[in-house]
Structure 1
Amino acid sequence: MRIKHLLLLTLLVCLNVQAKTKGQQTAWNSPQAGNPIIPGYFADPTVRKFGDTYYIYATTDGNGGGLGPSQVWVSKDFVNWTIMPMNWPTTYHIWAPDVMKGKDGKFYIYYCEPCKVYTGVSETPRGPWKNYLGNDTTVFVPDRFVKNVITLDGQSFVDDDGSTYLYWGTWGIYKDFGCGVGKLTPDLKGFSDKRIIPNTQVTDFFEAPFMIKKDGIYYFTYSSGHCEDHTYRVQYATSKTGPMGPFVYAKNNPILATNADSTIHGPGHHSILQEGDNYYIVYHRHNIPCSTRGMHRQIAVDKLIFTKDGQIEKVAAGHSGIGYLQPSTNPFPNVALGKKVKASSYYGESFKPEYAVDDNNATLWRPRTSGKEWIEIDLEREYDIRRIWTQFEYPTSYYQYMIETSVDGKQWSIFSDKRNNKLAGSPMTDFGEARARYVRLTVTGSEKTGMIGAIWNIKIFEGSKMDPPQKLVQVTPSSFVKKVCDKTNKEYNCWENNNGMLAGSFIANGNISMIEKESRGAIHIPANAWLESMFTMPQSFYTSQPYTVSYHVYGTMKEVLNKIVSWDSKQSKSLASLKNKETKASAWHYVSLTSDGKKESVYMDNVLVSLGKAAKTSKKCQKLVIEGGENGVIISDLRIYNWQLAVPEIMFDASLQDEAPVKPVSINKEMLVDINADNYMPGVSLRQIENRQGTKGGFRSLASPISVERKNNRLAFAFNGAQEFQSSFQLPESFSDNSPYSITAWVLNPEVEVNECIIDLIPAQGELEKIAFGWGAEPRNGVICHNGWFEDSGIPELKGSGEWKHIAITYDGYMEKIFIDGKLVKQKDIVLRLPRSPYVTLGRTAEHEWPFAGWLHSLKVYNYTLNETDITTEFTSDKRKVD
């Protein structure tokens, strides 16, 4: 009883602390500030509650235009959120998803890409989804489905009579434009009525409609302004007639807008949650400090209050949030909160190391490089550490890291080794048992080149009531490795758990081998052999918590059934039907065990074969053993989850093939391009320019040759706009994703056009997929172009010059800088999405545009970041040679 009282006391303390915080003015970087509620960049949130679980469906942001992957955040208490992947949509853009529950008990998703809305259906709130109308590309609402309505941001609403409506629209600010609305047919596959809600009724309607009904009044809420800047805001209009209007614009608009100090910047594209008699507005706003492009948005929540006469009060938006809506699922205190920290580096005062231990999703520790970086926490006394949660900057990409603990800060032991991790998630949960005062996390790699190991929060607990719903184990043939797995220094055949949350490996006991059966990779465990985990299963897995175990197994139906249930079992009627179909032919079968913590259901090939009590153990923890039994076993893709998958999810799980994940690429600092006119005699005409250092090869002419001339005491390649050269080499695989880079060049250009491209490193057209360096007057991208929707990579005052200019561009994975004649003239933060480059183009873009007309003495490209001293040295030394 005492333990229960202590847990209750801890829970009350958590709730009281949150309540106290809410009543104060909270700064954006205050410890335990409740807004944003999600650790990461997400936008366009739709909040729903299905059963006892809250869901936030949102656009994945911070990656160049809402490009996915598809995901949903789930929580039982509205404070502790876990990201979970979804299988659909599979399209390039995944914008503004919304999910509703139909009368038939199924779930329907609406999402958009420019400029159309799609609809999908599923048995569960997180999928697996399939297009409700056909194949993945079948459109539900095409553009201009309603005249003068640009299609975007589909949002559903169910009226009191059960009728379902869909609202959509963007850029509704033009004359005679507005928002589209349609009443859906009972089968939700079409519309029985549709019309426009004109912007004469919903003033300044831009996008993001959301409808609610309260006390007989229909509240049409929407966003105005532009989502990239401070003008974005939430407004509303009301109707007492019906969900399709007509509407009356409210006098007290806007109800949510940028605040005085701009720490709540560009709030909008919201949804509304009703919890009892209370209403809450969930919306996105820009990160702090605001990113250049305005596309690193975060999700926040505040209370929505209605007046007695039916108005919505202006939202008292702040940084406190609303706290718990249900009892905390993790009542153990975070012992890392507010403790002393030190780090290998940090990227200025906006990204201090102490921000990693302040339990605030607005603040971020960002190291200076994308290389090996560490952060160390002094807990100030010893604790019995059982769980460590790490919330990395980008939850949809995996990070590789190691966590160590120490009593004295000198002798360190490994708590969790995820240096080969391939699993993305938030929080990343690390399990273990350590008595320690110091905790050190070292980031060693990431899924994408140039991804800096930045961290929103590190949370350390002495226990866990309920772990976040995650995949704990995945054993596949591709995870085989031969290595030293323990302290004996003996080399074992191991299967690493790199795709599961539990860090460690399985060691082979016996002659276990990898084989292939009927086009599927498999693990053959002979009779009396077994795989044994070097890690222990968490205690919570065995104590009345939900779980799911699934795997493929090869054999006859009877052999497989004998392994999982008694052949004479009468617990399931469907078992008898399987017996009748039993054949002697061997084949792959899919087995799954799923439990709600009390009852366990066993399925084979999606047929229920047994129903009984869930497995439990009184042990604190135990190793996981996969046995071959008396006759041996052939298995593939064993997965263990600490939550209960629904049957459709299990079916989808079975369809996934064993694929080796992409391996991170190690980067060796090197020069990639080096061309210099000093290599040639004046007066020559060239159809080939050699690459002096770095990548072997050169540039061959696709158009006119180029002459070498002496210009103002320098030998130079004389471009007149007719030249285009293409490299015979491709850039290395490491030059991709968010790769750091540097470009330096000596350029003389007397007359500057709007865009003039000197070198285009990547022939791509997608958002943030290009690096085109030039000398143009375009204020957005005249110097560096990345194909960004909004870029700030130009210099408006750039003019032509009859003098030689030294231009340098550097990028470190976060900040891009422009230097002219050794001096920093501009910088901005940006995240790139570079594909592998098959060739480099010189003299214009790869699309044969933006020809360069001027003189080029030298040009160098590096796959790393030159510092300011490097650039100054190159400028002064090269200038001295001429002067």
Structure 2
Amino acid sequence: MKIIKVRNILLYIITIIMLLLVSGCSKLQKPTKVVRNDIERYNNPFSISSFTNNWGDEFGIQAPYILRYNGVYYMYIATPNNGLGVKLYKSDNLMDWTYVGNVFNPGSKGETTDEINRSDSEDLAHGAIAPEVRYFNGYFYLYTSLTKGTGKPVGNLIYRSTGVSGTYSDQTTNLGLNKDGTVFIDDDEKMYFLTAGDKPGVIYLYTMSNLAKINTDKKKEIVIDNSNTYYYQAPYMIKKGEYYYLFYSQTKNDDSGYELNYSYSKELDVTKFVKNENEPLLTNNASAIKGSYQTSIFLGPDLLTYYTVYSDENNRLVLSQLKFDGKLVYLDARLSDNIKPQTPDFYAKDQMSEFYEQVDGRLLSKLVTSSDYVAEFNFSGVNSIYPNLYVSYQDKDNYLKIEIASKKITLTQVKNGTSSVVAEGTINYTFSVIRNHTVFVEKRGNKIDIYFNDMHKISADIKTSGGRIGYGTGNPERIAYTAFTSITSSNALINYADGSILARSYLPNNSKLTESLIKNIDDAYYLVLKENDYVSYLVDFVNDGTYVLIFTYNNTAKANKIYLSIDGKDYQTIKLPKEKDAIVSIKLSEQHFTKGLHTITIAADEFEFSSIKIVEKK
């Protein structure tokens, strides 16, 4: 009898302990598995033969540069030593490319020559190295170095055209600067020109008076490092959020080849850039893709995902997703089973689109955005008047209006029929109203950001829901590509298991947050989970296997455990180890996954984490 009583007491104690263990997550909503049946895939690299009229298999698709203009992607490629002009391809989806032509239109002179330093070498971009094209205020500017048949790049030249496909004509004599010229325009509309360094450790930066005039006497050095180990070439600068990112190829000038890497800064100050502390984005030790030299970065068709394009060691085109997270940049350089770029929820190429309708005297989308969305407008005005732009349009008494005057951009909210100015931004440059202009809008939660011609002009707090987008005052014949994408779980970022999952890339419709709280710790973004909060991620696995989950989190936060669910199954409790460092990256779990999409859900109380790195266990 005593034995039975003891056994019953032990069972009771065990039951109480189990109940206590699960009580921490008992109030959590049961996680769900996210199913996506609309995914299409592609493989890297693209075959050279898929690009008609290319320069041949040996030269391939070298130094590709992609310009996104009016909803279309235009790719300019380098020219061989004996080639004349620059070849151009275009695509609506980044997958299917059509040959447009040679933008220098050499005509009867042919596209190749055996001559060196021809009298028309500069006119016809003889041996163009790493061409780059920028659109600004009605003109397309092409920057390149030329070999002129000598086998070595000589200086820099600037060409200009009124059309994206040319014909381009030279605007300058040879400027004699280093190769790999690239342009960056800051939010205040100041312009800069960057080139490769001619000594270890540096990239050169010049100011520009306009896109056809480089102030060659205003050279500054961006010091990448002082190790005297690497030469830094093929620079490319982009600003995303608070950070300036400077990408480049690094080489030891030996047979080890090129690696893709970057530096970052919160200021455009040549003394403030910090080199990526982790391994390069692409290394020469990788078993998959290597050999990258030139790269360009652009927004995908969904208006949410960033991509970069480059060529591999065999001069074949590679397209990869790129993710930004404070000082951290992640490149998903996957060979096979990449997820094809997604289309926007709504797009119209002109005012005649069947997806528009007249509402309250305005031309508005038939579709409505969710509360969070991104939207893009391409347009030009007439008679010195820009069209009014509308977002979050619910009815004639509730909407947001964007107005552009000669030197000002204004965001106005109309709520229950009452109008009030929310924010204004300054435009310094005298833009021509009749040229094509772009306005990009990003609304997340109670924050809205507005960009004019890729320059950040307005950031404001606002309370409103989604709605239609569209146009008001202006000539409708001048309305061009317009699109939006709602930010929902159905189009949220699909993370690759062979990369890192950013904490902020959760599925909004399959997560619950008390508030969307982000902390910046040591120039990286950390998502804060409160009691009963949970976030879900969609992750793509390319192989069946066992994978290690490595969390980077703030060890000074109060959490001592987290809860982990895979594909909607019951939560597993994971205790956090005691560590001395404030920020730690530690293996917290080991799970088996089959090939394909899986849902990973994290729940916790007072847990702050920036990323989850998933590594296949060999």
**Shared fold per TM-score greater than 0.5:** no
Structure (1 or 2) with the larger CA radius of gyration: 1
TM range (shorter): 0.3 to 0.5
Q: Pick the structure with more strand per residue.
A: 2
**TM-score, reference length from structure 2:** 0.41
Question: Which of structures 1 and 2 has the larger relative contact order (alpha carbons within 8 angstroms, sep 6+)?
Answer: 2
**TM-score, reference length from structure 1:** 0.29
